[in-house]
Amino acid sequence: MDDGIPQLVVDRNSPVPLYFQVAQHLEQLIESGAYPPGTRLDNEILLADQLGLSRPTMRRAIEYLVDRGLLVRKRGVGTQVVQPKVRRPVELSSLFDDLRAAGRSPHTQVLAFDVDHPSEMIAETLGIDVDTDVYVIERLRYTGDEPLSIMRNYIPTSLLELSSETLEEKGLYDVIRAAGISLKIATQSIGGRTARTAEARLLDEKPGAPLLTMTRVAYDDAGRAIEYGSHLYRASLYTFELTLTTQ
């Protein structure tokens, strides 16, 4: 960058390692938009000199942000800022809620909207009979212009009225809350697999690209199962965050 990195005063008496102080400073600049995607950073020697740090400290800070998916090194180009991943806390919120709260401009394309009977597995999970009508919904969620997630949901039709038009405009949990349903708790499983051809095409990835998977069953404050969701996320743009504590 022509103007270099905005000055950072590191606290050499802090228990926080110097490289991590620098990495946090750069991460804030990236996520605030001060360093938009495509911004090229000066080389490690110049950055270290600008901040009065050693080259190994600067290199470690850069490597940390590369591992976090915020920077990428390209031969012949140098170190560049990439689109930050959506970091989602593992709590009972919707992807639409989280993107909106982060200012990431969510919007939705409804790929399929049907009323059908659930499979035995989904019926058992939702605590309903297999001849119960459920909404079967498949959506493609975007953040800005980037496709981020393919979401498939099953919801008993007796709980609320849904339409594809409504789901193009609003998040599913917004609609559920508007129907007077208070979501209280969920069970959730997170995993990973590679993208199949049709999924890769929708998500603008190559077949075989890594995807995160998430299945969730959400319950209301009366203990009723409200929705079953099976979602896919681009691992290149998305991550889950957990906060761990000791007892």
Using one digit for the tens of pLDDT, what is the confidence trace for 150-176? 999 999 999 999 999 999 988 898 899
Q: Would residue 223 count as lying in a domain?
A: yes
* Rg (the chain; Cα; Å): 22
Owning domain of residue 216 = 86-241
Question: pLDDT grade, residue 2 (50/70/90)?
Answer: very low
* Strands across the sheet containing 225-234: 106-116, 134-143, 146-156, 225-234, 210-220, 183-194
| Domain assignment present for 6 | no
User: Do 114 and 214 have their domain in common?
Assistant: yes
Read off the pLDDT of residues 188-199 as tens digits, 9 standing for 90 and up. Answer: 888 899 999 999
Q: Give the count of domains, the chain.
A: 2
Are residues 90 and 56 located together in one domain of the fold?
no
Assessment of whether the complete model's pTM goes beyond 0.85: no
**Mean of pLDDT over the chain:** 83
Q: Which of 134, 150, 136, 140 is nearest to 110 (CA)?
A: 140
